Amino acid sequence: MKEILSPDFKVGILGGGQLGKMLGLAAANWHLPLYFLDDSRSFPAGGIAEAFVEGSFKNYEDVLAFGADKDVISIEIEHVNTEALVTLQAQGVTVHPHPEALNLIKDKGLQKLFYQKHHLPSAPFELFENEAAVRQAVQEGKWTFPFVQKSRTAGYDGKGVAIIRNEQDLVEKLLPGSCLLEECIELQKELAVIVARNAAGEIAAFPTVEMDFNPDANLVEFLICPARIDPDIEAAAVELAKRCIETFGICGLLAVELFLTPDNQLLINEVAPRPHNSGHHTIDSCYTSQFEQHLRGILNLPLGSTAMKCPSVMVNLLGADGYSGPTRYVGLEDCLALPGVKLHFYGKSTTKPFRKMGHATVLAESIEEAVRIAKLVQERLSIQSF
Ligand SMILES: Nc1ncnc2c1ncn2[C@@H]1O[C@H](COP(=O)(O)OP(=O)(O)OP(=O)(O)O)[C@@H](O)[C@H]1O
Ligand SMILES: [Mg+2]
């Protein structure tokens, strides 16, 4: 095994989007070069990569060729070719998260079966082959409105999720193909806990965050850390996330999205075995960022302190509605004039409505103050096109 940080030690990342870019920025602090595989070097990680290989992380040959000379391979997106990762592992490449976990997680149906098998709490569900089978189950009275339909493999950013409330939705909104139905859970809050593990078995969790959704885009709007919950719920959320990563046996990060019900029960919504949107604030507000922690996890280094430096609110900077084309940042100076605002742009050359173009983390002495300033960020900054 080559020594970490020795000149020929190579870490490869499948996916070159914004998560890859921020992973690369964290690695740069250690002068650890990262190599990326994705369709185009014009993607966010292209600008900071040691080397960027153009190819598809979904393609067996591309992943195999990319991984052959790497010591460690990790991901910034779970929809990668796992057969190639299995082959690479057999050739001696260290792969984190391990391909079996990736196979479970990238299929929401298998993910739900995993929770059931291991008695990890999540919403009651049933698997269906296609939308016709869903309609039949409703006709037979086996499922009643409202319920949630999720595509098993196609979803991200809320695109593979439909809430079916009535007969009309059943006609117009059902998603095609293999799916699962889930009971519609009444939500007191949506929470997320990002937890990390290394090969030595060390586990560390970041403070629980509270996710506030924009109902139009079905994307997280504000992400509040620490979550405004009782300490016993915080402790239970962290415990559940730790149990989750231990059960999956993953090295690196696992982001655990949770539902908090009105009677204070925690249910796992879904997990992601990589850096996550709900952990972006850690770059500015915690002792260790989620990106550095992921590197520590996959390289079997001691995990960093997850302690918070101060309260924060993260706001996703989405492409403004009505604009598509070359990216233009309107109101940048007004926004930078606000106290405690840390801007992160991903460098996407074109914008479109609700596309994640960057994020702002607002640091303040209290959550109330951070929320107030985050709203000003949203008012002042608009991502449009030329
Ligand atoms: N069973 C449920 N009951 C109530 N609301 C739900 C349920 N499942 C999902 N939702 C709502 O839909 C949102 C998106 O669901 P989910 O996280 O499964 O999809 P996703 O496409 O993977 O989303 P993302 O990529 O944004 O995390 C949830 O955050 C929640 O607001
Ligand atoms: Mg989700």
In this structure, which ligand is nearest to the CA of 165?
1
Q: Examine the pLDDT at 157 and tell me if it is beyond 70.
A: no
In this structure, which ligand is nearest to the CA of 220?
1
Residue nearest to atom 13 of ligand 1 (CA): 158
Mutation pick for ligand 1 pocket among 161, 267, 268 (CB with most ligand atoms within 8 Å)? 161
- The domain 189-385 is placed in CATH, from the list 3.40.50.1220, 3.40.50.10470, 1.20.1440.230, 3.30.470.20, at 3.30.470.20
**Superfamily of structural domain 124-183:** ATP-grasp fold, A domain (3.30.1490.20)
Axis-axis angle for helices 99-106, 231-248 (nearest 10): 120
pLDDT value for 76: 98
In the chain, what are the domain boundaries?
11-95, 124-183, 189-385
Question: Which residue shows structure tokens 């509605």?
Answer: 321
In this structure, which ligand is nearest to the CA of 106?
1
DSSP per-residue letters across 188-240 = SEEEEEEEEE-TT--EEEPPPEEEEEETTTTEEEEEEES-SS-HHHHHHHHHH
How many angstroms separate the CA atoms of 382 and 386, rounded?
12
What is the per-residue pLDDT across 200-246, written as a single tens digit (0 to 9) for each? 999 999 999 999 877 776 667 899 999 999 999 999 999 999 999 99
3-class state of residue 75 by DSSP: strand
d(CA 29, ligand 2 centre) in Å = 30
Q: Indicate the DSSP class of residue 92.
A: T
What is the per-residue pLDDT across 100-142, written as a single tens digit (0 to 9) for each? 999 999 999 999 999 999 999 999 999 999 999 999 999 999 9
- Around ligand 1, the residues with Cβ closer than 6 Å are 123, 148, 150, 155-161, 182, 184-185, 187, 190, 213, 257, 269-270
d(CA 255, ligand 1 centre) in Å = 14
Lowest mean pLDDT among 9-18, 154-163, 250-259, 269-278: 154-163
d(CA 339, ligand 2 centre) in Å = 30
Lowest mean pLDDT among 150-164, 200-214, 230-244, 312-326: 150-164
Which ligand 1 atom sits closest to the C-alpha of 159?
A: 21
Q: Specify the CATH number of the domain 11-95.
A: 3.40.50.20
How many angstroms separate the CA atoms of 169 and 254, rounded?
33
d(CA 386, ligand 2 centre) in Å = 32
